[in-house]
Structure 1
Amino acid sequence: MVGAADRAKRVARTSVWLSGTARRVRAPRRGAAGAVGLDRERITVAAVRLLDAEGPAGFSMRRLAAELNVTAMSVYWYVDTKDELLELALDAVFGELELPDAGSEEGWRDQLRELATGYRGLLVRHPWVPGLIGNLLNIGPSAMAFSACVRQVIRKTGMPPDGRTGAMSAVLQFVYGAHVGGAETRERDFEFALELLIAGIETKVPPA
C-alpha cells in the first residue's frame, strides 16, 4: 500500500513547481551547437506559440527544438521533461492576466466581472489550456496569484467563510465551461450568464 510520504514524493517528481526544477538554472554545455542565446524564458515562449498553433497533439520536444533551431538535447538542459515544460507554458499564459487590486475601494462586482472576462479570454486565446489544467498541477506563481485574487474578491462580497469556496468554484467552473467560441451571440450569452451568477452570489450575502 502506497503511503502519504510516497505519494508526496511522486507528486514532487512530476511537478516542476514542487521538484525545485523551476528554480534551477542549468547552463548549456560548452561547445553545444545551436544553444547560443537559449534560455528557459525563450523556450517557454516558443512552447506557448507552438501549443497555440498545433495544440498538445502536435507538440513535442523535437518539434519545439526545430522551432528554436537547436537540438532537442539543448532544450533538456533547461527542463527535465515535456510535462515540466507544459507546466511552465501553462503558468506563462496565466501571467497574461491583468489582475485587479482586490484591496482597493473598487466594487467586488466589477472586479469579479474583470476576472471572469479575463479568464475566459485566456481560454479562448489558448484553447489547449483546459486540457492541461485537467492533467497537470496548475500551481505556478501566476496561476496562484490569479486564484488568490479571486479569493480576495469573493471575500469582499461579504459572503460567510463557509460559502466562499463554493462561490469561487462557481465562478471558475462557469468560466471554464463557457470558454469555447467567441461569436457575438455567444459573447452576449456569457455576459448574461455572468450577471446571473453575480446576482446569485448577492442573494447569499447576509445584509450588512
Structure 2
Amino acid sequence: MVRAAERAKHPATSSIWLDSEKAGRRRKPDQPDGLDRDKIVETSIRMLDAEGLAKFSMRKLAAELNVTAMSVYWYVDTKDDILELALDAAFREVELPDPDRAVSWRDDLRALAESYRSMLVRHTWAAAILNTYLNIGPNALQVARAIQDIAIATGLPPAGQAGAITAVFQFVYGFSTTMGNFQRRCDESGVTQDEYYAQAMAAFQKDPELMDTMERSKPIIEARGGSTVAEMWTRDFAFGLDVLITGIEAMVARAEESSA
C-alpha cells in the first residue's frame, strides 16, 4: 500500500488509486453532515473551473465547504489527491461509444475525440495536469479501454495501433489546450473570443512587418470559413481529425499490401 509520504517522495509513479485505504475512505460519524469525498471533488471542480489551478488551495476549499481543513484531510492527504480525484471525475464527462453495438471506428473515433476536446475546454485545468498523474482512476480507465477498442477496430497491426491513437489524441490535447488558453486570455481581458480576434487582426494589419505574413495568410483565412471564432475552431478541428483518420486508413492499406 502506497502511503501519502511515499507518494510525495515518488510523485511520478504515485497515485491515490494505488492506496487501497485512501481509495475507499468514507465519512466518519463525527465528520460534518453532508461532507463526503464526492462533495469535496464536486466543489473542487467548480472552484478550479472558476478560478483556475494557480488559485486553488486546501484552505480555500475548506472555506468553500464551510468546514475545517482537518475535516477535508480525513478524506485526502494532499492537494494532489484532490486534483487526481477531480481529474478522474472530469473523465466521466467524456461520452463513450455504446458497448452493446459493434465498433464503427471512424464514427466512434470522431465522437470520442470531440467529447474529449469538449471536456478539456470546459476544464482548462485538466489539460494542465493531465500528464502529471498516472490517470488510472475508474473513469480514465473506461476512456482508455474505449480508445483501445477503437484502435483494434481500425485494422492496424498491433505495432501501429499505439502510434496512430497517440497521434489523434495528442492532436486533441494540443488543440484543446490552445482553445482553453485563448478562452482564458479573453476572459482575463474582458472581451469575447470574437472581439479579441477582431482586435488582433486589426493590430496585425497596422504593423508593416506583419503585412507580408498577413497577405500570404489571406487565402487560408478566407477559405477557412466561419463568421465566428467558435465556427473556426469547429471546422479546423474536424478537418484536422479527418486528416488523421485518412492517415490511419492509408497505413491500414499499406499494412494489408505488405502482408499480401
Which letter does structure 1 place at the counterpart of 2:46? R
Which among 193, 196, 204 is matched to residue 240 of structure 2? Answer: 193
1:120 equivalent in alignment to 2:117: yes
Considering only CA atoms, is the larger Rg found in Structure 1 or Structure 2?
2
Alpha carbons 1:52, 1:126 under 8 Å: kept:
yes
TM-aligned CA deviation for residue 45 of structure 1 = 0.3
2:161 corresponds in structure 1 to 164
Q: Please give the alpha-carbon distance, in whole angstroms, between the structure 2 residues aligned to 1:70 and 1:13.
A: 31
2:78 corresponds in structure 1 to 81
1:131 corresponds in structure 2 to 128
Q: 1:130 to 1:12 in 2, by over 3 A?
A: closer
1:19 corresponds in structure 2 to 19
1:150-171: CA deviation from partner (whole Å, max 9, x where unpaired): 1111110111111001011111
Alpha carbons 1:12, 1:18 under 8 Å: kept:
no
Alpha carbons 1:93, 1:122 under 8 Å: kept:
yes
Which letter does structure 2 place at the counterpart of 1:118? S
TM-score (structure 2 length as normaliser)? 0.71
Count the aligned residue pairs: 198
Which letter does structure 1 place at the counterpart of 2:131? G
1:68-104: CA deviation from partner (whole Å, max 9, x where unpaired): 1111111111111110111000000001112003562
Q: Please give the alpha-carbon distance, in whole angstroms, between the structure 2 residues aligned to 1:11 and 1:186.
A: 35
Q: Please give the alpha-carbon distance, in whole angstroms, between the structure 1 residues aligned to 2:127 and 2:13.
A: 22
Alpha carbons 2:26, 2:36 under 8 Å: kept:
no
More helix by share: 2
TM-aligned CA deviation for residue 134 of structure 1 = 2.4
Alpha carbons 1:95, 1:143 under 8 Å: kept:
yes
Identity %: 54
Q: Please give the alpha-carbon distance, in whole angstroms, between the structure 1 residues aligned to 2:94 and 2:112.
A: 8
Q: Name the SS of the counterpart of 2:252 in structure 1.
A: coil
Alignment of structure 1 residues 1-208 onto 2, 5 Å? 10=10, 14-20=14-20, 21-28=22-29, 30=30, 35-101=32-98, 104-179=101-176, 180-181=178-179, 183-206=230-253, 207=256
Q: 1:37 to 1:103 in 2, by over 3 A?
A: closer
Q: Name the SS of the counterpart of 1:78 in structure 2.
A: coil
Query: What do you get for the CA RMSD once the two structures are aligned?
Result: 2.2
Alpha carbons 2:103, 2:153 under 8 Å: kept:
no
Q: Please give the alpha-carbon distance, in whole angstroms, between the structure 2 residues aligned to 1:154 and 1:115.
A: 12
Which letter does structure 2 place at the counterpart of 1:80? D
TM-aligned CA deviation for residue 128 of structure 1 = 0.5
TM-aligned CA deviation for residue 11 of structure 1 = 5.4
Structure with the larger RCO, 1 or 2 (CA within 8 Å, 6+ apart): 1
Q: Which runs of 5+ in 2 are unaligned?
A: 1-5, 180-228
Which letter does structure 1 place at the counterpart of 2:122? R
Q: Name the SS of the counterpart of 1:99 in structure 2.
A: coil
Q: Please give the alpha-carbon distance, in whole angstroms, between the structure 1 residues aligned to 2:64 and 2:18.
A: 28
Alpha carbons 2:58, 2:69 under 8 Å: kept:
yes
Q: Please give the alpha-carbon distance, in whole angstroms, between the structure 2 residues aligned to 1:89 and 1:10.
A: 20
Q: Displaced runs of 4+ in structure 1, greater than 3 A?
A: 9-14
Q: Name the SS of the counterpart of 1:189 in structure 2.
A: helix
Q: Please give the alpha-carbon distance, in whole angstroms, between the structure 1 residues aligned to 2:130 and 2:96.
A: 20
